[in-house]
Amino acid sequence: MRRLAIVVGLLLACPLETRAQAEEKGRWVSISDSLLQRLEQEGKKPAWPGGTGGITVDRSTGDVYLVVCGQGLWKSTDHGKTFERTDSGKIGGRCETGYALDFDPNGQRLACFMLDGNAGMTLDGGKTWQPLNDGSRGQDVAAVDWSQNPARSVIAIRHESGGLGLFSTNGGRAWKEIGKDYLAAVGIFDDRTVVTSKGSGILRSVDGGATWAKVSDLTPTPGAVRIWKGMGYWMSKDHLLASKDKGATWIALGAPVRAGWGPYFGKTEKHLMVVGQDGFMESGDGGLSWTKAAPLPDSANSGWPNKEGMDRLGWFLNFAWDWKTETFYASKMGKAAVRYRR
């Protein structure tokens, strides 16, 4: 009883927000219920399969961006407590994969590659948008060359069109086809240097996808290369792959890690987070070693069972991480978006 009284006393002494955070710490809670209820009251029903369909975080600010299926992109500046629509009606559909949302690690610039809805790119945190549509149902996995200012070069894959590869040099306003039968896995290092896979090894092109050469026997899982400060990272089934020479050579880093989503960047390019069947796994040394940072969402608070969807690496689930506040986010297509505080 004395211990309980001490805990209660400490909670009462905390500011309201701090007290709420303390009570939430260590468990998953929904952050989309009030938004979905608000849309229902306004007669705005989410499209199939309902609920949310993607989530990401601006690592420079901690702002959260949430996709509601068929009802656009919503932004929260208070860690998911409240949301306001931020796409001016320019974003629709849902994220088919965990790599449909591509955020510049330096912040503000975000590309949304949507299935069954309008796609677009913002260079100013959602204030203005330019279209990324290619006349199809949408793209599944894509990557933007964020080293450019403004960003112009983009590579994308449409799996429902036979693994069709697409390349744009004008910010997604126009696209050219660059072959078929690609795995839904891509990366872009500069305006001409791109990588992909056909399910066995890594292919690299230095002419925007016109010709390809095999550069590695390592094979990535579906997803996109994430690049920051010249270092490129790509997920595989049992290791994080890395390249420091624009994809010319690749190595499997350090300790094995079972993951299919990520990496998400923290304080530096070596502070990484990946997600897989073992939960959120963190590295402070660029993938040489890993420790568990947070569990997967649980059915009690997210509405989707622990490990559901983990058998298809990179697909249907979206994860995000705010390293500054030790906050983790998840969204499963058709389910609630949830938050976990460490």
Q: What is the pLDDT of residues 76-110, one digit of tens each?
A: 999 999 999 999 999 999 999 999 999 999 999 99
Q: Confidence band (pLDDT; 50, 70, 90) for 26?
A: confident
Whether 305 has a pLDDT exceeding 60, the answer reads: yes
Pair 66, 336: CB distance under 8 Å: no
Pair 121, 67: CB distance under 8 Å: no
Whether 9 has a pLDDT exceeding 80, the answer reads: no
- Tokens 């009251």, residue? 41
* CA 67/CA 69 separation, integer angstroms: 6
**Structure tokens belonging to residue 178:** 């660059």
- DSSP at 278: T
Concatenated DSSP letters for 125-191? TTSS-EE---SSS--SEEEE-TTSSS---EEEEEGGGTSEEEEESSTTSS-EE--S---SEEEESSS
pLDDT (tens digit per residue) in 213-267: 999 999 999 999 999 999 999 999 999 999 999 999 999 999 999 999 999 999 9
Work out the angle at residue 78's Cα, subtended by the Cα atoms of residues 120 and 304, and round it to the nearest 5 degrees.
Answer: 75
Whether 7 has a pLDDT exceeding 60, the answer reads: no
**Structure tokens belonging to residue 127:** 């204030």
How many domains are there within the chain? Answer: 1
What CATH number is given to the structural domain containing 37? 2.130.10.10
Whether 11 has a pLDDT exceeding 70, the answer reads: no
**Structure tokens belonging to residue 216:** 């590695």
Whether 191 has a pLDDT exceeding 80, the answer reads: yes
Whether 301 has a pLDDT exceeding 60, the answer reads: yes
Q: 3-state DSSP call for residue 67? A: strand
- Which domain range does residue 208 map to? 2-341
pLDDT at 15: 53
Q: Which residues are within 8 A (CB) of 148 and not within 5 positions of it... i.e. 6 or more apart?
A: 190, 191
Q: 3-state DSSP call for residue 274? A: strand
Q: What is the mean pLDDT of the chain?
A: 92
CA 217 to mean position of chain CA atoms: 26
Q: What are phi and psi of 188, to 5 degrees?
A: -140, 130
Q: 3-state DSSP call for residue 323? A: coil
Q: Which residues are within 8 A (CB) of 336 and not within 5 positions of it... i.e. 6 or more apart?
A: 30, 31, 32, 33, 36, 51, 52, 302, 303, 304
Q: Confidence band (pLDDT; 50, 70, 90) for 304?
A: confident
pLDDT at 18: 66
Instruction: Kindly report the pTM of this predicted structure.
Output: 0.92
Whether 314 has a pLDDT exceeding 60, the answer reads: yes
* CA 248/CA 49 separation, integer angstroms: 40
| Integer CA distances (angstroms), 341 to 9, 27, 170, 274, 293, in order | 22, 7, 40, 16, 10
- Tokens 């952050």, residue? 31
pLDDT at 229: 93
Pair 122, 110: CB distance under 8 Å: yes
